[in-house]
Structure 1
Amino acid sequence: MRGSTGTGRGARRRRIAGAGAVTAAALAALSLAYAPAAGAVTPTLATADYDCGTWGAGQARLTATQDGTRATVTLRSSVRTPLAVGADTINATLTFAKAGGGTKAFTGTRNPALPARGPVEIGPLSATVAPGDSLNSYFAGPALTMSIFGFPVSCDAVTSQSPGPFVF
């Protein structure tokens, strides 16, 4: 009759097993809370030098984001526009070299309004990425092409990205 009151060995084992299950669940929840986000690009910020011919040359800051297979890159350059440029009027393609071969192009017509002699900023430019895509500066042709007021502007990458390629 001792087991029927819930104070016997069986009840004690159930309480210990229940406490163990609660502890395991709490530990699992904590490990999920501190785990890195799945599908996050690293690094999120890189720099590289570009030469845009008569528009100038200099360092650009590249900021990348990722949401599943959708990725964006925003470029802020030390290259300056000679004239004021309205918002969302620069049609741009930023091409990266993929590790293992091939390229990945990020495209869009997004930019803030730029004052005359202000630094060129474009993006976010978007593309679809696959897990493990590793993207770095593209050297086999123009890395950045822009159409500003209908005039084509081509920029060549001069350096690889620092601290390293974007890995999605």
Structure 2
Amino acid sequence: MKHGTFGIGTFLGVGLLAAGTLAMAPAAQAVTPDKATLSFDCGSFGSGTANLAATQDGTAATISLATDAITSPLPISANSVKSTLTLAKNGTDTTTFTGNANPAIPAGGAVSTGPLDGTVAVGDSLEATSLTVVVFGITATCTATSPQNPGPFVF
């Protein structure tokens, strides 16, 4: 009987030790850096700086973007800007993040869009190359004119 008690106690002790070790293990790394800036040229719509903010949850990632490269001549209601952000992926491919989420934008206000949704894999290195924004059926296409600072997003 004592042998059985010792076995259960040992099993519980090992289980508690394993649980404690897992609790003390470092959390999985998220995207780094989580914020970046770059410049866009949007042709006749203007040019300027864009601020990007990235988040990651497993293979799902989002990027929110605000840029003074495009300003709205009219008020824009929330969730009415359709955006596609194209990013260079690992230096050999491209990927897109898309969405139509945006805050309400007043007349003369800078365009903010996101979160834009995309899919990533561990180790993906992504750097914005272009942005397409559709508002009121009008399409503005922007091209990155500088690299992301401080560097590409690494997931």
Aligned to 1:14: none
- Does 2:51 match 1:64? no
Distance in 1, Cα, partners of 2:107 & 2:93:
36
Structure 1 Cα separation of the partners of residues 74 and 150 of structure 2? 32
For 2:19 and 2:81, the matched residues in 1 are separated by 51
Distance 2:99 2:121 in 1: 19
**Unaligned residue ranges in structure 2 (runs of 5+):** 1-9
Give the 3-state SS of the residue equivalent to 1:54 in structure 2: helix
Task: In structure 2, give the amino acid aligned to 1:110.
Answer: A
Find the residue that maps to 2:106 and give its secondary structure: coil
Q: Is 2:118 aligned against 1:106?
A: no
Structure-2 change in CA distance of 1:109 and 1:30 (3 Å): closer
* Percentage of pairs with the same residue: 48
Structure 1 residue 31: deviation in Å? 3.2
Q: Do 2:72 and 2:109's aligned partners in 1 also have CA atoms closer than 8 Å?
A: yes
Q: Give the Cα separation in 1 of the matches to 2:91 and 2:85.
A: 19
Q: Separation in 1 of the partners of 2:144 and 2:128?
A: 6
Whether 2:151 is the aligned partner of 1:164: answer yes
| TM-score, normalised via structure 2 length | 0.84
For the aligned residues, what is the CA RMSD?
2.3
In structure 2, what is the Cα distance between the partners aligned to 1:158 and 1:151? 22
Q: SS in structure 1 opposite 2:141?
A: strand
Please give the TM-score of this superposition, normalised by the length of structure 1: 0.78
Answer yes or no: is the 8 Å Cα contact 2:38–2:50 preserved in 1: yes
Alignment partner of 1:128 out of 112, 119, 124: 119
Instruction: Tell me the secondary structure at the aligned position of residue 44 of structure 2.
Output: helix
What residue number does 1:54 align with?
44
- What is the aligned partner in structure 1 of residue 77 from structure 2? 86
Count how many residue pairs are aligned between Structure 1 and Structure 2.
147
For residue 166 of structure 1, report the CA deviation from its aligned partner: 0.4
More strand by share: 2
Q: Could you tell me which amino acid in structure 2 is paired with residue 85 of structure 1?
A: I
